[in-house]
Structure formats: structure tokens, C-alpha cells
């Protein structure tokens, strides 16, 4: 089984539609191993997106990710990382494939409703950024 880190972003929380996104995730065969509903600090968001710190969109991204609560989740499935990237679609909702979460709920490349880890290395880093081992364990799949 593989794992990935997903985050339902502030735009989806603000629109009061995160339940639909969680349903789509379950329908696609992912099991939610851990989940939080939290507002992160500027420092946390800056650290999470540190790889983008030289990008022109960095400041807006940090501001966006801290303006409302978010829902980080650890998801489990065969081929989790790749299958979840397929489920969410292109980071620009206008370019996202029909039936993807970003196509359905995203608005712009910043307000794109959801995040998914892009590699095994980053998924491990991102999972431990939000969750301790004991928070992930304890469900029926172990």
C-alpha cells in the first residue's frame, strides 16, 4: 500500500464544500488514515512551501494557505501518489481534465482546492510535517 498527503485548501473550506471532496476521495478508493481541521501559521505555510520561495506567487500562496482552516489528510491506496494526482488534475483548474477535483471545485491556479504530494520523498516529508506516527496508526488497516 502507498500513502500520500492531501490538503483540502482554504477556498474549498470557505465555500463549505469539503464534504463533497472527501466523498470523491473515498469513492476513488482511498482510505483516510488521519485527518486534521486546522489553521496553520504563516511560518508553517512558509516552511511547507519552502521549495517555492523564489517563485513570484509564493507570497500570495502563503497568504492564501493561512487565511482559513485547511484539512490535511494521510491517504492510503495502491499507487496512492500517482492515482491521487490523477484524481485532483492539473494545478490550473482551467486545464484540469473533466471529472477531476480541481476541474470541479478549483477556481485559479492558487485557489485550486486541493494539494497532493508529488513524489515518495515529498509524501514522507509532508506526512510527518502534519502528523506524528501515533496519529496515523490505530485504524483497522494498521
Known catalytic residues?
A: 115
Query: Which one of ligand ATP, Mg ion, none interacts with residue 116, CB within 5 to 8 A by kind?
Result: ligand ATP
Measured from the CB atom, the residue of 91 and 104 that comes closer to ligand ATP is: 91
Q: What residues from 100 to 139 belong to the interface with Mg ion (CB under 5 A)?
A: 118
Half-sphere exposure of 130 (CA within 13 A, CB side): 27
Site for ligand ATP in 80-109 (CB under 6 A): 91, 109
- Which residues, 6+ apart, have CB-to-CB distance to 114 below 8 Å? 6, 7, 8, 9, 12, 21, 88, 101, 102, 105, 106
Kindly state the DSSP code that residue 97 receives in the 8-state scheme.
P
- We find the least distance from the C-beta atom of residue 112 to Mg ion, in angstroms, to be 11
Place of cell 500562496: 61
Residues that bind ligand ATP (CB under 6 A): 52, 57, 61, 91, 109-110, 112, 115-116, 118
Residues that bind Mg ion (CB under 5 A): 118
Amino acid at each position: 500500500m502507498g500513502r500520500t498527503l492531501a490538503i483540502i485548501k482554504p477556498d474549498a473550506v470557505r465555500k463549505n464544500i469539503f464534504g463533497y471532496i472527501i466523498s470523491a476521495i473515498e469513492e476513488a478508493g482511498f482510505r483516510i488514515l488521519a485527518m486534521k481541521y486546522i489553521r496553520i501559521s504563516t511560518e508553517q505555510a512558509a516552511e511547507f512551501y519552502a521549495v517555492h520561495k523564489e517563485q513570484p506567487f509564493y507570497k500570495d500562496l502563503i497568504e492564501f494557505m493561512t487565511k482559513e482552516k485547511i484539512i490535511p489528510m494521510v491517504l492510503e491506496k495502491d499507487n496512492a501518489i500517482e492515482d491521487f494526482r490523477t484524481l485532483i488534475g492539473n494545478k490550473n483548474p482551467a486545464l484540469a481534465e473533466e471529472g477531476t477535483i480541481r476541474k470541479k471545485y478549483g477556481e485559479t491556479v492558487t485557489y485550486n482546492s486541493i494539494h497532493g504530494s508529488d513524489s515518495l520523498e515529498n509524501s514522507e516529508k509532508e506526512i510527518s510535517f502534519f502528523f506524528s506516527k501515533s496519529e496515523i496508526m490505530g485504524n483497522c488497516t494498521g
